[in-house]
Amino acid sequence: MEFGRYQKAAVKTLQGSGNEQDSVVVPLLGLLGEAGSVATAYKKHLRDGPGRPLGKQQIREELGDVLWYAATLADSFDLDLDDVAAASLEKAKQRWRPSDLEEPLLDEHFPPGEQLPRRAVFTFTPTVRESDGRTVVMLSRDGVPVGDPLTDASAVDDDYRYHDAFHLAHVAVLGWSPVMRSLLRVKRKSAPAIDEAEDGGRAIAIEEGISALVFSYASRHGFFDHLQHVDNELLQTITTMTAHLEVSNCRPADWEQAILTGYRCWRTLTAQNGGTLEINMEERTMRVLPAD
């Protein structure tokens, strides 16, 4: 049965009380109650063991009740259940399936001198600054410095001085990084509007803000060590922050891949006190090269 037909049939069986608010409240409370019934059935199965088998018919009935209340609640908000189902599948695809490798890169049609490097090697070299004894990290490419030496910029030693690894992960996985465009001097000046809106100061500040935001989250979650996923709330915040930028074409799954890739390399760099990263935009990968 199609969802649309089911919804129309379900609404015909809705019992009203004459109270207009009941058209929302009753299905809403019913949906909560029936979802709880599904959980309760499984809870009893776990609690009582084999003596209480979880029958397929029972779960079928409980899920049917959940579907009925979802259909009537959708109707209360003038929503079509077919559209709700389609949107749900699209949301799941965006969350769990990274973009196809065949999709063109964001700067594909710009001159080579305005493109992020498709393949490149970057070295992180820590040194102790003589002036104050603080450890700084210098990022370089082919022996040429990229940007200024970085400290943790904090009273706490937390290795944030290696955070350019996160920007490089954005380059490798997302094909995007206003910060690295500026540092590598590949801003798209041939298109002034793009240069201002996508490669300018505001976009740079947003990317730095994302880096700091994710680092704060990561510091409370073991810096993603042994974790395979990032919370949806964090990904949604990033999606909102970048909604007006070209990177909005990337999916939450792409951002998750970029974050986990960046932190995997960051953990290695901090553990071995520096090292060399290799990025490959065509394969959307980044790795720490062997120390030798």
How far, in Å, CA of 258 to CA of 170, rounded? 6
What is the pLDDT, as a whole number, of residue 52? 65
What is the pLDDT, as a whole number, of residue 21? 58
pLDDT digits (tens, 9 = 90+) for 152-198: 989 889 999 999 999 999 999 999 999 999 999 999 999 999 999 99
pLDDT band at 101 (very low <50, low <70, confident <90, very high): confident
What is the pLDDT, as a whole number, of residue 15? 75
Read off the tokens for 35.
């979802």
Query: Please, is 250 exposed, middle or buried when counting C-beta atoms within 10 Å of its C-beta (0-12, 13-18, 19+)?
Result: buried
Read off the tokens for 105.
């890169």
User: pTM of this prediction?
Assistant: 0.85
pLDDT digits (tens, 9 = 90+) for 35-94: 998 888 888 878 877 666 667 788 889 899 999 999 999 998 999 999 999 999 998 888
By percentage, how much of the chain surpasses pLDDT 70?
96
Q: Where in the chain is the domain with CATH 1.10.287.1080?
A: 3-96
How far, in Å, CA of 165 to CA of 22, rounded? 54
Give the DSSP letter string of 23-61.
Answer: HHHHHHHHHHHHHHHHHHHHHHHHHHGGGS---HHHHHH
Count of all residues that appear for the chain in the document: 292
Least confident of 23-37, 193-207, 219-233: 23-37
Q: Which CATH architecture has domain 3-96?
A: Orthogonal Bundle (1.10)
How far, in Å, CA of 159 to CA of 267, rounded? 9
Question: 122 vs 98, 145, 165, 246, CA distance in Å?
Answer: 25, 10, 9, 25
Averaged pLDDT, 105-124: 97
Average pLDDT of the chain? Answer: 92
How far, in Å, CA of 228 to CA of 193, rounded? 38
How far, in Å, CA of 273 to CA of 292, rounded? 14
How far, in Å, CA of 5 to CA of 130, rounded? 75
Nearest-Å Rg of the Cα atoms of the chain is 26
241 contacts 210 by C-beta, under 8 angstroms:
yes
More confident residue, 278 or 12: 278
Q: Under 8 Å CB-to-CB from 122, ≥6 apart: which residues?
A: 139, 140, 141, 146, 164, 168, 276, 277, 279
166 contacts 195 by C-beta, under 8 angstroms:
no
What is the pLDDT, as a whole number, of residue 19? 60
Read off the tokens for 114.
């305005």
